[in-house]
Amino acid sequence: MGSRWRHLAFACVASALRLEQLPTRFNAVEFEAFAAGRPGVVAARTAEFLQVTAPLQLTTARLFAAGRLRRDDVAYARATREALARLGPTFIKLGQILSVREDILGPVWAAELATLQDGIEPVGAAEALDVIAAAFDGSLDAFVSIDPEPVAAASLAQVHRATWRSDDCNGSTTFDVAVKVLRPGVVEQIAVDLCVLTRASDVLATWAPRLLPSSQVDWKALILGLAGALWEEVDLKGEAARQQRFATNMQRVPSAYVPRVLCARREVMVSEWIDGTPLRRVRSPSVLRQSVEIMRDAYCQMMFEDCFFHADSHGGNLLWMGDPSDARGGQLCLLDCGLMVEIEPEASDGLLRLSLHLAGRQWSKVVEDSIQLGFLPPDITQQQRATAQGVARRLVGPYLDVGGGAAAASAYSASQLFSDISAASTELPTGLPPQMVLLGRAVIQLEGLALRADPAYRLVDDILPTAARMALGKQTSASILFELLYSDDESTVSSPQGVATLSRGSPPQSFSPERLRRLLATATGGATTISSSTTTTSTSTTSTTTTTTTTSRSSGAPTVTAAAAAAAAAAPQ
């Protein structure tokens, strides 16, 4: 039915499916009831889905029977991408979301699905204006003008620049706004498609483990989780509420800005227009460095304090408000709150612990944090813990030491790298919760931005001062600093004796000046000298420590020094 994704067909469906009948939050049971009340529409879409995907299903069966079903099959991945594009916006969006799950799909499929974000054709001006008018009771009187050409277009919505009229007791004022409008019929189309996907998730949960037996992915939960995220993206009134919450949170981050929302309906959202330069077009090193600092502080605030983060902060969604060649006085604007993720406070604390333990290179605790965050199951064996600790040290350690980009590539031995990846995929029952996948995507985007400004950028070390300050202020996390600065005599895991003595949460025994030196060096990015006069007995008696530090760069050092002093003061007496 063409690349316009069957707008006319689903406009007809819209007359049979009243918008107010759709559930506001995705729920598999409610959607099944919704589908049961519309058997003809759902059956027709199911038949179309089967017709488009039939060649893929036959190819899958043939490759599986021949033992040649692989994650690096370029032709198979391309055929799948083309099928998703033919099926329309629901499947295009799901493909875009799945493109960040390289852990499941592999690099070939992830790269192929990522191209679904290219070349989105906008809806015609007349159709877009009809949707806007319908959202405002058939009238466009609230607008002085609307630019018929969209400034941006995506698979679900597009954005137009407009002039908004505001009337109050002081008279009428006008100002520029951004009008985000859903594609015509897209809500109804996605509702029907999610009914199809809900029923298909049971089939996928049965067959996927047979095709990918080593995967620990809960496929039904994955599909239903993606469906929930997609349903939220076609509720612009809900997006407006998320944007307002996010704007309030970001007021705590200097030089970060989120546009004000002026008005919202389910299919239309009006927010203030921001003049700026998309960060992907900025070339000034000073502006890029300043942007990285703002984003670092913003994501620390999101992850460690607010438990609510922006999951799509690519260069097009970040605007530099100011002279693109001068960092002085500028602000960074974060756009598009369609994909925001909320995490539990326990997960936030776990991320904070993981960040600090990574900075301290405490691999046994990194494994414990991974279990808490759901990357590893809680019932893994001691041998698996030992394997995980060793793999983490060899896979993550060089990255922490030299940073990302080209520097990371030169820090690994190819044979050891492949060996460790193989061990991680075959010997460890790893998994990635959907929220952590989206957070990982955001962190990768942040690091990509930072590497443009500094090829030697080290993400974990850069957030250490901010993370340490936040840990110091959180009652639930203050003990992390104590753990980082007090020796716990970790056993090596390369021997059977080391495996046998791995313990969970063993209390630290004595203050470690060496750890303080390492942490200060990490925080300041330079050489750190430390002299100490330390008298230590067992943890049940008095421990006296006098420490003097000198760093080659002051940035971040006061934060960590204060944290160290607090941790020392918290030592058991």
Other CB atoms within 10 A of residue 50 CB: 12
Phi/psi region, residue 394 (left: phi>0; alpha: psi -120 to 50; beta: rest), is alpha
Per-residue model confidence (pLDDT) at position 567? 43
- Bridge partner list, 284: none
Q: What is the spatial distance between Cα 559 and Cα 96, in angstroms, rounded to a whole number?
A: 40
* pLDDT tens track for 10-39: 444 444 445 456 667 788 888 877 777 778
Q: Rounded distance, CA 255 to CA 139, Å?
A: 38
Residue 241 has pLDDT above 90, yes or no: yes
Query: Per-residue pLDDT averaged across 117-143, rounded?
Result: 87
What per-residue confidence (pLDDT) applies to 504? 40
pLDDT at 155: 84
pLDDT tens-place string over residues 295-323: 999 999 999 999 999 988 877 789 999 99
Cα dihedral value 350, 353, 356, 362, nearest 10: -110
Residues 153, 4 contacting (CB under 8 angstroms): no
Q: Label residue 182 by pLDDT band (50, 70, 90).
A: very high
Contact of 151 with 161, CB cutoff 8 Å: yes
Output the pLDDT for position 284: 92
pLDDT of residue 244: 97
Per-residue model confidence (pLDDT) at position 102 = 62
Mean pLDDT of 255-272: 95
What is residue 309's predicted lDDT score, i.e. its pLDDT?
Answer: 93
**pLDDT tens-digit readout, 529-552:** 444 444 333 333 334 433 343 433
pLDDT > 90 fraction of the chain, expressed in percent and rounded: 27
Higher pLDDT, 100 or 53: 53
**Residue 169 or residue 303, greater confidence:** 303
